[in-house]
């Protein structure tokens, strides 16, 4: 029996009509099989390089070739999924392609109607995380014109990416001189902006704010160089936002010259700040202004007639200072006169006293005339012969030496010099002298 007589009674349907119905009948099983995913890997995605590498925190373009080997269908959309913690920021395909909202962990390209058998290029730009597994894998999927979702495959193995290098930290706002137990900001005397630490990628560029690593990274600040033996307080750990961690209330409790701060985060190269000074106190000057501080062995005080608007700073301790052929016994005093921006007022003069306790005097017995001031200044000055030298403190070179008596200088010759030496009522020693600019002194 022929196919027509097997399924249809003769005479009920004309031959032409029966042929149409018969074709429709036999086409249906084939269509049903395709909807079930007929097993055709019709769309093959080939990475430009496999495996690929990406610098930690950097952005890279990942290039793909997509080949359609199906003679009857086209690809409606293609979705790429980035490895864990990668961020896709852009993607492009054939002319007319539209892209889903970005940035994100995946991107869908809605493709124009491309001819069957066509090979086309897709570029996907993604940011690598700062912290990632040694190798991570991309995913790809798609939807064809029959709404099938299992027709896209990699040409070989999925694209894997190895993250190389390391992200780092950098201080972008540097700490400025301020008083003990005061906020360390970017301006002199607790003015200016909060200290900031920037997250940087493996190429030493600022981390893209879209990077997942740019937000929520825990950054910790600590004292690195600690000349005064101080303790750091305030909010010492801050979470990054848009690639920056802010520290607005850090304080150090002891005076010292040459402090610096370190910033650290797990998996990042640490950063070190510029050197800065913590003074015991900073006083605003109207006309005259005075400062005074004491330790168990030493009291230092200064009085200056610096112009209004300037500041006098004084700190005891936190500086190493010696003069040749002289054994110093008191704590070092750090004194300076500064303008409102923290710049030295180099020619400003003050009268300073250094009072050494009885116990310190008894620990180094010597005639009164041999109690001297070991002095350090950024600029050279006349000294007792044989006592000159240099020190480096806070990154600055200072000239050192014992002060000469003031009577050796002509009136109007402005030099640091020793005014007087005397015993106190409690049998300590008080040294009075002229200080200039931004010096250190020690008895």
- The CATH number assigned to the domain holding 184 equals 2.60.40.10
- Does 403 share its domain with 346? yes
Asked if the structure places residue 15 within a domain, the reply is no
**Does 3 map to a domain?**
no
> What confidence score (pLDDT) does residue 279 get?
94
Side-by-side strand order, sheet with 256-259:
178-179, 276-279, 256-259
Q: What distance in Å separates the CA atoms of residue 402 and residue 389, rounded to the nearest whole number? A: 10
Q: Tell me, yes or no, whether 138 lies in a domain.
A: yes
Q: What is the pLDDT of residues 97-132, one digit of tens each?
A: 999 999 999 999 999 876 666 889 999 999 999 987
- Tell me whether residue 301 is in a domain: yes
Mean local confidence (pLDDT), 429-437: 89
Strands 195-200 and 417-423: unpaired
Indicate if 89 and 151 belong to the same structural domain: yes
Residues 126, 200 share a domain: no
Residue (of 344, 328, 301) closest to 391 by Cα position: 328
CA torsion, points 201, 206, 210, 212, in degrees to nearest 10? 40
- Please answer whether residues 75 and 66 qualify as being in contact, where contact means their C-beta atoms are separated by less than 8 angstroms: yes
- Pair 419, 302 in one domain: yes
According to the model, what pLDDT value does residue 199 have?
98
> Do 89 and 219 share a structural domain?
no
- The pTM score is 0.82
Query: Do residues 65 and 125 lie in contact, with contact meaning Cβ atoms separated by under 8 Å?
Result: no
- Indicate the residue among 164, 182, 212 that finishes a domain: 164
Contacts of 122 (CB under 8 A, 6+ apart): 63, 64, 65, 66, 78, 80, 91, 92, 93, 109
Of 121, 136, 164, which residue sits at a domain end?
A: 164
Residues 54 and 97 in one domain: yes
List the 440-442 sheet strands across, edge first. Answer: 281-284, 311-316, 333-338, 440-442, 374-377, 396-402, 389-393
Tell how strand 396-402 and strand 311-316 pair up: unpaired
Q: Which of 279, 299, 322 is the last residue of a domain?
A: 279
Q: Are residues 285 and 274 in the same domain?
A: no
Q: How many domains in the chain? A: 3
Instruction: Check residues 412 and 428 and name the one with the higher pLDDT.
Output: 428
Quick one: 288 and 397 in the same domain?
yes
Burial, 378: exposed, middle or buried (Cβ in 10 Å; 0-12, 13-18, 19+)? middle
**Tokens read off for 156:** 């070989």
Cα–Cα separations (whole angstroms), residue 257 to 103, 180, 395, 401, 412: 47, 12, 9, 19, 31
Residue 196 to residue 346: CA distance in whole angstroms? 30
Longest CA–CA span in the chain (Å) reads 144
Q: Which pLDDT band, with edges at 50, 70 and 90, does 440 fall under?
A: low
Q: How many angstroms separate the CA atoms of 356 and 177, rounded?
A: 27
Q: Of 407, 281, 426, 437, which Cα lies nearest the Cα of 355?
A: 426
In a domain, 84, yes or no: yes
For residue 34, pLDDT beyond 60: no
Tens digits of residue pLDDT in 40-64:
668 999 999 888 899 999 999 999 9
- Clarify whether residues 302 and 433 are in a common domain: yes
For residue 230, give every residue at least 6 positions away whose Cβ sits within 8 Å of its Cβ, in sequence order, or none: 180, 223, 252, 253, 254, 255, 256, 259, 278, 318
- What are residue 375's DSSP bridge partners? 401, 441
Residues 355, 292, single domain; the answer is: yes
Q: Is residue 98 part of a domain?
A: yes
Higher pLDDT, 177 or 28: 177
**CATH no. for residue 73?**
2.60.40.680
- Which residues form the domain of 215? 168-279
Does 368 map to a domain? yes
The mean pLDDT of 423-430, rounded to a whole number, is 95
- The answer to whether residues 248 and 351 belong to one domain is no
Q: Which residues contact 17 (CB under 8 A, 6 or more apart)?
A: none
Q: Does one domain contain both 241 and 322?
A: no
Residue 191's beta-bridge partner residues? 187
Per-residue model confidence (pLDDT) at position 39: 53
> Does residue 26 lie in a domain region?
no
């Amino acid at each position: 029996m022929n196919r027509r007589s097997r399924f249809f009674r003769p005479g009920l349907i004309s031959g032409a009509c029966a042929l149409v119905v018969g074709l429709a009948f036999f086409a249906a099983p084939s269509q049903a099989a395709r909807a079930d995913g007929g097993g055709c890997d019709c769309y093959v995605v080939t990475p430009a390089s496999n495996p690929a590498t990406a610098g930690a925190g950097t952005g890279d373009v990942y290039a793909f070739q997509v080949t359609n080997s199906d003679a009857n269908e086209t690809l409606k959309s293609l979705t790429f999924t980035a490895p864990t913690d990668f961020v896709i920021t852009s993607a492009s395909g054939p002319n007319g392609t539209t892209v889903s909202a970005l940035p994100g962990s995946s991107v869908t390209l809605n493709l124009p109607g491309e001819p069957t058998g066509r090979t086309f290029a897709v570029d996907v730009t993604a940011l690598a995380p700062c912290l990632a597994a040694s190798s991570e894998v991309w995913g790809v999927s798609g939807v064809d014109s029959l709404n099938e979702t299992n027709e896209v495959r990699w040409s070989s193995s999925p694209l894997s990416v190895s993250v190389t290098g390391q992200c780092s930290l950098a201080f972008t706002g540097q700490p400025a001189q301020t008083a003990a137990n005061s906020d360390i900001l970017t301006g002199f005397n607790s003015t200016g902006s909060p200290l900031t630490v920037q997250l940087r990628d493996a190429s030493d560029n600022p981390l893209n704010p879209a990077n997942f690593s740019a937000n929520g990274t825990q950054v910790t600040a600590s004292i690195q160089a600690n000349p005064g033996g101080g303790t750091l307080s305030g909010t010492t750990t801050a979470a990054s936002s848009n690639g920056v961690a802010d520290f607005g209330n850090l304080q150090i409790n002891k005076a010292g010259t040459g402090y610096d701060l370190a910033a650290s985060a797990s998996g990042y190269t640490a950063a070190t700040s510029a050197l800065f000074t913590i003074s015991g106190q900073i006083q605003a000057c109207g006309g005259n202004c005075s400062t005074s501080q004491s330790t168990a062995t030493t009291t230092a005080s200064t009085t200056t007639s610096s112009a209004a608007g300037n500041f006098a700073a004084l700190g005891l301790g936190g500086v190493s200072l010696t003069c040749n052929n002289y054994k110093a016994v008191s704590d070092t005093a750090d004194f300076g006169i500064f303008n409102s921006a923290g710049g030295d007022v180099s020619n400003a003069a003050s009268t300073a006293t250094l009072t050494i306790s009885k116990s310190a005097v008894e620990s180094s017995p010597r005639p009164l005339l041999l109690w001297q001031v070991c002095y350090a200044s950024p600029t050279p000055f006349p000294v007792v012969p044989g006592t000159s030298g240099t020190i480096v403190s806070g990154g600055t070179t200072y000239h050192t030496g014992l002060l000469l008596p003031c009577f050796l200088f002509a009136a109007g010759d402005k030099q640091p010099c020793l005014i007087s030496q005397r015993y106190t009522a409690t049998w300590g020693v008080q040294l009075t002298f002229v200080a200039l600019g931004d010096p250190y002194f020690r008895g």
